[in-house]
Chains A and B, each alone.
Chain A
Amino acid sequence: MMNHEVKEHIRNALKKGIRIDGRKLEELRPISIETGFLSTAEGSAKIIFGDAEVLAGVKMAIEKPYPDTPEDGVLMVGAELLPLSNPEFESGPPSIESIETARVIDRGIRESKAFNTKSLCLEKGEKVWTVAIDIVPLNYDGNLIDMGGLAALAALKNARFPKMNEDGTVDYHVKTDKTLELQKMPVPITVCKIGDLLIVDPTDEEEKAVDARLTVTVLDDDKICALQKGGDSPLTMKDIEKMVDLAIKTSKVLRSKIVEVN
């Protein structure tokens, strides 16, 4: 909830092309990505964007597959809005915001078939690799879906399978060179509408002024593999067209950052 006059003020500034932190409407905060720094995770990534910071970790295990997909490995995406990262986040069971963040990022990775889940099968119906990605903000300042999604991709790229022993158990202390072999990079971009204008990469303050948002997960060939509309206001067809175009345009910048990651 935001003071109506403060919101108007932000809108008027946007009409002049200036955001609260001086950025242009389509400008992203400077991004830096670090990977492979956690000793206990099979893959890890940290993204720093402006004053914000998000962490993603990948854990792998060998478990029974789901009965309806006996030959497929299991993918799980979790997100938690840590009360550590923002005074407005409370302790307790997962909030609806953290559930939405996890599910939207999951959809992008799953629907794009970013990695081949069949290659994770060890014994049909009995043993498959499970890949669990967990995403948390350390310093929250808006745009968690996009940057969390990017961190998840970086962590997946960085992930190396742990050694599997003769008896089928996992030795987490030994990492192999085997990677997940990502075939696609589904990059989520959330475009936000404030009044009549569109911005990307909103800060926490800007998010409070947003009327509606559309997350578009974009693939390497500019195809779309997931969508999520949020916010209280409706979107017109024209809005959606402009938002999808802006998402595709913005995804190229983020994709170029991910390509350099190991």
Chain B
Amino acid sequence: MTFERPSKRKFDEARPVEAEAGVIKKADGSARFKIGDTEAYAAVYGPRELHPKFLQDPKTGILRCNYSMLPFSGDGSRVRPGPSRRSKEISMVTEKALRPVLDLRDYPNTVVDVFIELPQTDAGSRCAGICAAAIALADAGLTMKDMVSSVSVGMVRGNLLVDLDGDEEHMDENEAADVPIAMIPSTEEITLLQMDGIVSKEDFFKGLEMVKPALRLIAEKQREALKNKYK
């Protein structure tokens, strides 16, 4: 019996994407990014003064990311507000995913703060957060060599699938795998790579190739969101 995705998508097809820039008026840059039922808002404030002073870098501005899920955004019961170990780790890998494209040397001793909030999630939340944040950083006018696009690829019941949704994440108890990836589209350099699960080396590298078209499509949506703001 051949495997059919609950959403009936092709194996290499990501969920439908909606992206908008400039949605938060007081922010220096902002965006909303929705993929399937996972939605992320990102707001950029900065470059701005950085306190405490010992965090300042005299050679460059620094990037600081804060990822958080809203209490009503989880699949199931309410998510207690406040940072958790999971959200702190995601904040850190998000920062590492975005930093390589930014040039903050014109702003020594400052910080660029990125706040990511998700009102609803259905798997792929850290990827959606990174996509929203990348649009927001560009919207803020920062020097960025390219966007950063992010989506997951996974293995469910022996099938490599791009952009696992909530149903698929829960499907396979045994040898499932979930690999969130972020990539710089113009160079195909990878800035986020994590994995949960068990997968063979061959399947893993097949997955990395398989996800590229979806990432390029997402990058186009991100750029479109910016251009649409100025139509």
Our verdict on whether A and B bind, yes or no, reads yes
Chain A positions near chain B (C-beta within 8 angstroms): 38-41, 44, 51, 55, 57-59, 61, 78, 80, 82-87, 91, 93-94, 132, 134, 136, 138-141, 170, 172
Question: Are the C-beta atoms of B117 and A82 separated by less than 8 Å?
Answer: yes
Contact pick for B72, options A59, A82, A86, A138, CB 8 Å? A59
6 interchain pairs (CB within 8 A)? Answer: A59-B78, A78-B71, A80-B81, A83-B113, A84-B115, A136-B70
Query: In the bound complex, what is the Cα–Cα distance between A136 and B76 (angstroms)?
Result: 20
Q: Which residues of A contact B113 (CB under 8 A)?
A: 83
Q: Chain B interface (Cβ within 8 Å of chain A)? A: 23-27, 37, 41-43, 45, 48, 66, 70-78, 81-82, 113, 115-117, 119-122
Q: Within the complex, which residue of A40, A85, A136 is in contact with B43, where a contact is CB–CB below 8 Å?
A: A85
Complex: chain A residue closest to B36, CB-CB: A39
Contact indicator A172/B26 (Cβ below 8 Å): no
Q: Is the interface of A mostly helix, strand, loop or mixed?
A: mixed
A40 touches B121 (CB 8 A): yes
| A184 → B minimal CB distance (Å) | 23
Residues of B within 8 A of A132 (CB): 71, 78
Give Cα A41 to B122, complex, Å.
12
| CB-based contact B81/A41 at 8 Å | no
By a CB distance below 8 angstroms, the chain B residues around A39 are: 37, 120, 122
- 16 more contacts with CB within 8 A, not counting A38-B119, A55-B119, A172-B76, are A40-B75, A41-B72, A41-B73, A57-B71, A58-B72, A61-B78, A78-B81, A82-B117, A85-B26, A85-B43, A87-B26, A91-B66, A91-B115, A134-B70, A140-B26, A141-B26
How long is the Cα–Cα vector from A160 to B48 in the complex, in angstroms?
44
Q: Roughly how many angstroms separate A59 CA and B75 CA in the complex, as a whole number?
A: 11
CA distance A26 to B70 in the complex (A): 33
A84 touches B71 (CB 8 A): no
B residues within 8 A CB of A140? Answer: 26
Shortest Cβ distance from residue B21 to the other chain A in the assembled complex, whole angstroms = 14
On whether A139 and B66 interact (CB within 8 A), knowing A38-B72, A41-B72, A85-B43, the answer reads: no
Given contacts A59-B77, A78-B81, A87-B45, contact A40 B27 (CB under 8 A): no
B121 contacts across to A, CB distance below 8 A? 40
* A134 CA / B43 CA spacing, docked (Å): 20
Q: Which A residues touch B115, using CB under 8 A?
A: 82-84, 91
Q: What's the minimum C-beta distance from A143 to chain B, rounded to whole angstroms?
A: 15
Query: Are A40 and B71 neighbours in the complex by a CB distance under 8 Å?
Result: no
Please judge, given known A-B contacts A132-B71, A132-B78, A138-B41, whether A41 and B120 are in contact too, CB under 8 Å.
yes
Cα–Cα, bound, A139→B43 (Å): 10
- Are B81 and A134 neighbours in the complex by a CB distance under 8 Å? yes
Report whether B66 and A86 are in contact in the complex, using a CB–CB cutoff of 8 Å: no
Give the shortest distance, in Å, between A46 (CB) and chain B (any CB): 9
Q: Which residues of A contact B43 (CB under 8 A)?
A: 83-85
Residue of B nearest to A43 (CB): B72
- Chain A residues with Cβ below 8 Å from B74 are 40
Q: How far is the CA of A71 from the CA of B43 in the complex (A)?
A: 44
A138 to B27, CA, bound (A): 11
Closest to B115 in A: A84
Judge whether A40 and B73 touch: CB under 8 Å: yes
Cβ 8 A contact of B27, one of A57, A58, A84: A84
Complex Cα distance, B119 from A94, in Å, reads 18
Residue of B nearest to A51 (CB): B25
Closest beta carbon of chain B to A8's beta carbon, Å:
25
Q: Is the CB of B72 within 8 A of A93?
A: no
Q: Is the CB of B25 within 8 A of A141?
A: yes
Give the complex CA separation of A93 and B73 in angstroms.
20
Q: What residue of chain A has the Cβ atom nearest to residue B64's Cβ?
A: A91
Contacts of A86 in B (CB 8 A): 26
B26: chain A residues at CB < 8 Å are 85-87, 139-141
Q: What residues on B are CB-neighbors of A55 within 8 Å? A: 70, 119
